Amino acid sequence: MNIQEGYKIDEPNIFIPWDIDEKTLTEKLNGHDFKHVTTGYYTIPCKSLNGLSCILGFHFEPRQNGILNELEFFRTDYSDQEKSFNDFQSHFKKEFGKPTSESDGNEGFKNYAWNFESVQIVHYVFDRFGPEEHMRIKKIKKHESTTTAISKRADSTKRNDNTLNKLWSWLTGK
């Protein structure tokens, strides 16, 4: 898969290019079990990366009349956090190779990032009302660096925990 062009879903069999608008995405997902969650955000249960079962979220920026710029991978059941984390990590490593960077994280998990020319993949766990796993692929704008994660959600989260502050610094480049 050429992640810089877009993302291939195996089931249903759909290729989603970066920078498409919401109308084009909904046309591609039509007839499949996708949900319009809110303005600029859709989800679909799917399989990708040779057997990874999860829910895939599509984020548009700006939220209204925007273009696709971020994919979010998650599950509805995290009863075994370690199993979930290892499953995501295994599939992403098989597809995209060894992460570009790795650091100590929270809750006994490492932080991982894959940096490509115009795309960044991040995988980490942080404490937000308990451990929360994040597996995301972000299309990076030409003026942004792929050595730092860009996330408005991450920027708006305030934590006192020194370890978490270091994680956010590492992920947001601040």
pLDDT of residue 132: 85
Residue 14 in any domain: the answer is yes
Kindly report the pTM of this predicted structure. 0.80
Residue 147 in any domain: the answer is no
Residue 28 in any domain: the answer is yes
Residue 163 in any domain: the answer is no
pLDDT of residue 125: 92
DSSP assignment of the chain, as one string? Answer: --TTTEEEEEETTEEEETT-BHHHHHHHHTTS--EEEETTEEEEEEEETTTEEEEEEEEEESSSS-EEEEEEEE-S--SSHHHHHHHHHHHHHHHH-S-SEEEE-STT-EEEEEE-SSEEEEEEEEESSSEEEEEEEEEPPTTS-TTS---HHHHH-----HHHHHHHHHHH--
**Domain tally for the chain?**
1
Residue 93 in any domain: the answer is yes
What is the number of alpha carbons within 13 Å of residue 21 lying toward its C-beta?
4
Residue 2's Cβ-count burial label (10 Å; 0-12, 13-18, 19+) is exposed
pLDDT of residue 127: 79
Full domain range(s) for residue 114? 6-139
- Spell out the per-residue pLDDT of the chain, length 174, in tens: 899 999 999 999 999 999 999 999 999 999 999 999 999 999 999 999 999 999 999 999 999 999 999 999 999 988 999 999 999 999 999 999 999 999 999 888 999 999 999 999 999 998 777 788 999 999 997 655 544 443 333 333 333 345 555 555 555 554
Residue 173 in any domain: the answer is no
pLDDT of residue 17: 97
pLDDT of residue 154: 38
Residue 35 in any domain: the answer is yes
Return the closest-CA partner of residue 3 out of 86, 117, 113, 102: 117
pLDDT of residue 135: 96
Residue 127 in any domain: the answer is yes
